Amino acid sequence: MTAEKAKILIADDDPQNLEVMLSYLEQQAYEILYAPNGKKAVAIAFSELPDLIILDWEMPIMNGIEAIGKLKNKPETREIPIVMATGVMTGTVDLKTALDAGANDFLKKPFEGVEFKARVENALRLANSQKEVKKQHKEIIALSIREQSLLKDNLDFKTRELSSATLIEFQKNELLTNLLEEVKRLDNLTNNLYAPEIRKITRQISSYINLDKSWSNFKRHFDEVHPEFFEKVKNGKELTNNETRICAYLKIGLGNKEIAALTNVESGSVRRALHRLKKKLELGQDEVLREFISAV
C-alpha cells in the first residue's frame, strides 16, 4: 500500500456491483472514480490517470475488452494495471482473452470480499512498482544527462586548454626565432665585433626554444582531449618522433606555418615531411592526409 491516496477507477453498468465493490473498499483510503460504460471509463482514465482500473467485461457503448484496447494504445495509460471483472465470461478461454488483451488480473462475479481486496492490493502494488521503476529510470536518465554534460564541459575545457597551450607555444617559438634572426643580423652589421657576447645571447635564446619540453607539455594536454590517437594513427607503423608530432598538430588543425614554428624548421621542410608521412601511412594518391588525420 502506498502512503499516498490511491486512485481507483471502477467501470460497471450495474449499480449493485458498484455498491458491493465500494463496500469492500470503504475501509481503505482510496479515491474512487466511477464510469457506467467503457467509453466513459476510457475518457476518465485519460484525464485522471488512476492507479488501478477495474473493468466490467459486458458494458453498453463499449465493453471492457474494447476499453482495454483504447487504454493500451495511449502511452499515458498503457502501464496502468487493469483488473477485468465479469459474471458471464468466466471460462478459461475468456481468461486468456482478457489477459491477451492487456488485463493484469481477472475477477469472477459474484465477488468474495477477501479475494477482491487481495486482488486490488496486489494490483496497486504492481502500480507502485511500475511508478518506482519509472522514477528510477528518469533519475538514471537525468543523472546520465548531467554526467554527459559534465564530461562535455570537461572536454571543452581541455580542448580550450590545448588550443591555448599550442597558441602560446607557437607565439613563443615564433618570437624567439625572430629574435635569433635579429641578433644574427646585428652580429653581421657589427662585423662580428661582439661575437662572444652574441654567441652567449643566442645560446640563452636557444635554450628557451626547448622542443622536447614544449612537446611534453603539449602531448599531456593532447592525450586528455584525444586519448589513444597515436596508437590509432600509427596502427602498427613506425613513425619518427617528428612525424608523430606532425600528426598531432594536423589533428588540431594547424597549418604548415604553425607546424614549422613548433618544430623549428622551414615551411618547405614541413611540406616534404607531410609527403613522407602520407607514404608511411600508406594512403592512396587521392586520399588527403589532413582529412585522414582529422577522422582518426
Domain end among 96, 111, 126: 111
Q: Domain tally for the chain?
A: 2
Q: Across the beta sheet with 6-11, what order do the strands follow?
A: 30-35, 6-11, 52-56, 82-86, 105-108
Domain end among 111, 131, 150: 111
Residue 126 lies in a domain: no
Residue 279 lies in a domain: yes
Residue 74 lies in a domain: yes
pTM (predicted TM-score): 0.46
Q: What is the pLDDT of residue 79?
A: 86
Residue 139 lies in a domain: no
Same domain, 167 and 290: yes
Same domain, 167 and 57: no
Residue 187 phi/psi, 5-degree rounding, is -60, -40
Contact 95, 64 (CB under 8 A): no
Same domain, 87 and 163: no
For residue 116, give the nearest of 27, 2, 34, 13 by alpha carbon: 27
Q: For residue 215, what are the domain limits?
A: 158-295
Same domain, 275 and 194: yes
Whole-number mean pLDDT of the chain? 81
Same domain, 277 and 172: yes
pLDDT digits (tens, 9 = 90+) for 68-119: 999 999 988 888 899 888 876 666 787 788 888 888 888 887 777 788 888 8
Q: What is the pLDDT of residue 160?
A: 65
**Which CATH number is 11's domain given?**
3.40.50.2300
Same domain, 107 and 162: no
